[in-house]
């Protein structure tokens, strides 16, 4: 009898794991064939070899690039070096990257580990750069003022909060105001693995301001990139492991109401129209995370490897 019980439990255990394993593989969807869609004028950007996880292009063509992310379980080609913010001027004929100096008395550049970034431009045209960083694999938001003449970032503030434990990306709505994604619920690495494997979908989106911090959307299976429509009325959230983009309406009181969900798997079958402008099977780029365009030019970044510049 005892043997039977053990075998039954073992069987149930195996079924549980097989079930979760197959759904895990579908959520990850890593082994699949990618059909190439080529662009004629692309080249790898010199000086980016350790990732460009996020980037943002200002309306004047200046691009900020977050480089050198270290993230648990992700490869790093320079594990002992801190990350950096690069600047690229897309108005130039043959644009190159320049590392922005970081200044400020309370800022420790040696543990800077930049992830998602976002800019905010105020009424007098001062540009602020907000950066998710993971010093010692914790989560902070570093607030900088961009000093264009000096080609530097003046560090103003480090933001930490208990509702911001596992930051991935953010979108600024003010100098110290933003929406941010937490890609996991748990902080502990062991619990994070189970959370991911079981597909608990406990990841969320938080609104932060100096006097009001709250969860504004939750229940995501790895909330990842977040951005805003050009008219700043809508917020887009990428739910990575569900292969969805959520569209939310943003209200004056900063709450978000869900409008629609774009299922990326069926992009060819459904409205709105989605065009694949570039696709590549891994010969050039590994693990691309971001792309942005400016006047017929496109930048594509990756988690831990290279970045691409294309003209079209």
Chain contacts with ligand NAG (rule: CB under 6 A):
26, 29, 32, 251, 253, 255, 265
Using the minimum distance from each CB to ligand NAG, give the nearer residue, 109 or 259. 259
Residue (26 or 109) nearer to ligand NAG, CB:
26
DSSP 8-state class, residue 287: S
Nearest approach, Cβ of residue 229 and ligand NAG (Å) = 17
Tokens of 133: 């960083």
Strand order through the sheet with 256-263: 223-228, 234-239, 244-250, 256-263
Q: What is the dihedral of CA 52, 56, 57, 63, to 10 degrees?
A: -40
Neighbour-count burial for 64-84, b at 16+ CB within 10 Å, e otherwise: bbbbbbbbeeeebeeeeebbb
Instruction: Give CA–CA dist 250/234, Å, rounded.
Output: 5
Closest distance between ligand NAG and the C-beta of residue 52, in Å? 24
Tell me which residue of 66, 102, 115 sits closest to 86, measured CA to CA.
66
Helix (H, G, I), strand (E, B) or coil at 13: helix
The distance of closest approach from Cβ of residue 286 to ligand NAG in the complex, given in angstroms and rounded to an integer, is 17
**CA 81 to each of CA 86, 111, 209, 271, 301: distance values in angstroms, whole numbers, following the listed order:** 15, 9, 31, 44, 19
- The smaller minimum CB distance to ligand NAG, of residues 9 and 259, is found at 259
- Which residue among the candidates 20, 115, 184, 246 is catalytic per the annotation? 115
Q: Is 286 a catalytic residue?
A: no
Q: Which is nearer to ligand NAG, 32 or 283 (CB)?
A: 32
Q: How far is CA 257 from CA 174, 233, 239, 249, 260, in A?
A: 20, 11, 16, 5, 9
80 φ, ψ (degrees, to nearest 5): -95, 0
Q: Which is nearer to ligand NAG, 141 or 235 (CB)?
A: 235
Nearest approach in angstroms of CB 212 to ligand NAG is 11
Pairing of strands 152-159, 101-103: parallel
- Quote the least distance from Cβ 287 to ligand NAG, whole Å: 16
Q: How far is the CB of 177 from ligand NAG (least distance, A)?
A: 16
185 within 8 A of 205, measured Cβ to Cβ:
no
* Peptide bond just before 226 cis, omega within 30 deg: no
Quick one: 154 exposed, middle or buried, by C-beta within 10 A (0-12, 13-18, 19+)? middle
Relative to beta strand 127-133, strand 177-182 is unpaired
Select 178 or 248, whichever has its Cβ closest to ligand NAG.
248
Which active-site residues does the annotation give?
A: 115
């Amino acid at each position: 009898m005892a043997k039977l019980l053990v075998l039954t439990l073992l069987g149930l255990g195996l079924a549980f794991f097989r079930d979760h394993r197959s759904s895990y593989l579908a959520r990850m969807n890593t082994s699949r064939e990618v059909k190439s869609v080529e662009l004629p004028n692309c080249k790898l950007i010199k000086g980016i070899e350790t990732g460009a996880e996020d980037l943002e292009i200002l309306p004047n063509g200046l691009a900020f690039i977050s480089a050198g992310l270290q993230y648990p379980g992700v490869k790093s080609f320079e594990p002992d070096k801190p990350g950096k913010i690069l600047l690229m001027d897309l108005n130039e004929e043959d644009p190159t990257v320049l590392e922005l100096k970081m200044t400020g008395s309370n800022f420790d550049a040696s543990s800077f580990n930049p992830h998602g970034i976002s800019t905010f431009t105020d009424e007098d045209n001062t540009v602020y750069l907000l950066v998710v960083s993971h010093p010692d694999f914790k989560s902070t938001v570093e607030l900088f003022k961009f000093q264009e003449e000096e080609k530097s970032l003046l560090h103003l503030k480090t933001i930490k909060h208990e509702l911001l434990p596992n930051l991935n990306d953010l979108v600024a709505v003010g100098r110290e105001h933003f929406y941010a994604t937490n890609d996991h619920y748990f902080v502990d690495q062991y619990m994070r693995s189970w959370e991911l494997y079981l597909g608990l979908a406990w990841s969320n989106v938080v609104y932060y301001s100096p006097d009001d911090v709250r969860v504004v959307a939750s229940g995501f299976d790895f909330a990842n990139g977040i951005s805003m429509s050009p008219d700043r009325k809508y917020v887009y959230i990428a739910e990575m492991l569900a292969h969805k983009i959520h569209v939310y309406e943003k209200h004056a009181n900063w709450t978000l109401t869900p409008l629609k969900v774009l299922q990326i798997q069926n992009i060819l079958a459904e409205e709105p129209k989605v065009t694949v402008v570039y696709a590549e099977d891994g010969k050039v780029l590994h693990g691309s995370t971001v792309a942005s365009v400016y006047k017929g030019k496109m930048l594509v970044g990756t988690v831990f490897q290279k970045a691409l510049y294309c003209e079209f």
